[in-house]
Structure 1
Amino acid sequence: MSSVQRFYDLTLELISILENTQLDRDVKINKVEILLEKRQQAMAGMAPPYSDTEKDLGTRMISLNAKVTKLMTREKLFIQKDIKVLSVKKESTGKYANPYQSMATDGMFYDERK
C-alpha cells in the first residue's frame, strides 16, 4: 500500500471517529491523537513521482482535510464550552461556600479616636 493510500484511509477513519457522537470524549481524543500521529508518518513517507490513482486520491484528500479541520474546530468549541461552564460552576460554588470572600473593602471607614 502506498503512503498516499494509507494517508487517505487514515483520513477517512479520522473523519468517522470525529463524526461519532456516541464515543466518550477521552476515548475520542486518544484515538484522534493516534490517528494524527499515523497520518503524520504516512505524510512523511510520500514521494513525488505519483501515479494517476495517487493524484486522484490527492484531489479527494483536499476536500477531506477541509472536513477534518471543520470537525476538529467543532470538537474544540465543545471542549471550550465545557471548560467555561465548569469554571462558572466552580466560581459560583466558591461564592456559595464563602459569600463574603469577594466583597470589596474599598471605602471602609476606620476611626482612630477612642
Structure 2
Amino acid sequence: MIIQTFHDLTVELLAVLEDRTIAERDDKIERVTQLIDQRDELLSQIKPPFTGEEQQLGRAIMLLNQQVDYLLKLQKQEIQRDIQEINKKKRSSNKYTNPYESLSVDGVFYDKRN
C-alpha cells in the first residue's frame, strides 16, 4: 500500500528532524533529503479512489506534514543564522588583518609647492 509507505516515510522524516542527538548537521541534512526524495517518488504514484483507511492515513499525513514544514523552517533559520555568523566573523577577521582597508582618502590635503 503506497499511502502506508508514504505515511511511514513521513513519520521517519519527522523523527529525524526532531532528533537532537545527530551530531553532524550534514548527515542529518543528507538523511532528510533522502527521505524527501523517496516521498516525492511515492507522491506521484498516489492516485484516487481511496479506501476509508487510506483517507484516514491521508489526514494523518496532512497533520504530520504541518509538523515537518515547521521543523524544516526552524532548520533553515538555524542554517541562515550560522551563515550570518560566519560572514560576520570573516568581516571582523578582515578588519583585524587589514585595519586601514576601509579608511577613506577624501579630504587629503595635497601641497603643490615643491
Could you tell me how far 1:108 is from its partner in structure 2?
A: 2.0
TM-score (norm 2): 0.95
Matched residue, 1:30: 30
CA distance in 2, matches of 1:80, 1:28: 16
Structure-1 residue corresponding to 2:65: 65
Matches within 5 A, 1:1-114: 2-23=1-22, 24-114=24-114
Per-residue deviation, residues 29-66 of structure 1 (Å, max 9, x unmatched): 00011000000001011011111111000111111111
For residues 69 and 84 of structure 1, what CA distance do their matches in structure 2 show? 23
Q: Separation in 1 of the partners of 2:12 and 2:5?
A: 11
The one-letter amino acid of 1:58's match is: G
Q: Distance in 1 between matches of 2:104 and 2:2?
A: 63
Aligned residue pair count: 113
Partner AA of 1:16 in structure 2:
A
Q: Cα RMSD between the aligned structures?
A: 0.9
Letter in 2 for 1:41: E
Q: How far does residue 91 in structure 1 lie from its aligned partner after superposition?
A: 0.7
- What CA distance in whole angstroms lies between the structure 2 residues aligned with 1:33 and 1:84? 23
Structure 1 residue runs of 5 or longer lacking an equivalent are none
Q: Secondary structure at the match of 2:59?
A: helix
Q: Per-residue displacement from partner, 1:48-93 (whole Å, max 9, x unpaired)?
A: 1111111000111111111000000000010001001111111111
Gapped runs of 5+ residues in structure 2? none
1:111 is displaced (CA, Å) by 2.4
